[in-house]
Amino acid sequence: MLDQSFYKGVIIIFSTIGEVFPVLLKGIEITIVVLVLSAIFGYLFAFIAGLCRLSNNLILRKFTGFYVEVFRGTSLIVQLFWLYYAIPMLFGFDLGSNLLAGVLAIALNYGAYMSEIVRGSILSVAKGQTEAATALNMSRFQRMRFVIFPQAVRMMLPEFGNYLIQMLKATSLVSLIGMTDILYHGNILRSSDLSAAPTVYFLVLVFYFIIALPLIFLTRKMEDISKKGVAS
């Protein structure tokens, strides 16, 4: 049987929703902007790094391999602080805004992870496809563009969808560098009125879940597309 403290907590949450909701609503635009920009640049970095790691150029492979291992092997929060605080202090190179620092940190971090998906998917395309394209006298670029890459992209889609949801969750970290996203407004509310904390963080969860719903639907559609098959 539920005790009185549970019911009291529920009453507190619902009695303060009207005050908290409009304040958190102010942070949705920043959260979505950071997500969209991070996704665009993250996928761009993923394709560039993934393709470079398959290059015949040794320097290019080593450089992108170094990037991937550094950004996969260190904390996203530390990377965020490095871009926003450390780099301007050490090198005098200011990124100009916390938006740019936040987007770059998330995009570089998840781009490193997704580059392995790009590389692995391309390598997973059956060798027979490459051999058939070679027999048709296609150049290396033509083989990649018309035969290998379209099949590889299908295999990438489900994981790309999952990482899109992960990037949404990562946008909450930009509040640490002063960006006024959902969590930033939530922390301000909580610090000004500690009793509102249950309502604040309950609504923060709801906000992120609502934003994630279309991404979850998109991920499932990507999975359906990938199940249509890749030639073997």
With CA atoms as reference, report the closest residue to 121 among 163, 161, 149, 146. Answer: 149
Domain count within the chain: 1
* Residue 136 belongs to a domain: yes
93-102 as b/e: b if 16+ CB within 10 A: eebeebbebb
Least confident of 42-56, 100-114, 214-228: 214-228
* Residue 150 belongs to a domain: yes
Coil, helix or strand for 97?
Answer: coil
* Residue 95 belongs to a domain: yes
Supply the range of the domain harboring residue 157.
Answer: 4-226
The pLDDT-based confidence of 14 (bands split at 50, 70, 90) is: low
* Residue 49 belongs to a domain: yes
With CA atoms as reference, report the closest residue to 71 among 41, 97, 36. Answer: 41
Judge whether residue 33 has pLDDT over 80. Answer: yes
Q: What is the pLDDT of residue 232?
A: 47
**Average pLDDT for residues 204-225, to the nearest whole number?**
90
* Residue 134 belongs to a domain: yes
Q: Please report how many Cα atoms fall inside a 13 Å half-sphere around the Cα of residue 93, on the Cβ side.
A: 6
Judge whether residue 155 has pLDDT over 80. Answer: yes
* Residue 232 belongs to a domain: no
228 φ/ψ angles, rounded to the nearest 5 degrees:
-65, -15
117-152 pLDDT, tens per residue?
999 999 988 888 878 887 888 888 888 888 888 888
CATH code for position 138? 1.10.3720.10
* Residue 231 belongs to a domain: no
**Average pLDDT for residues 189-193, to the nearest whole number?**
86
Q: What is the pLDDT of residue 9?
A: 53
Is 218 in contact with 211 (CB distance < 8 Å)? Answer: no
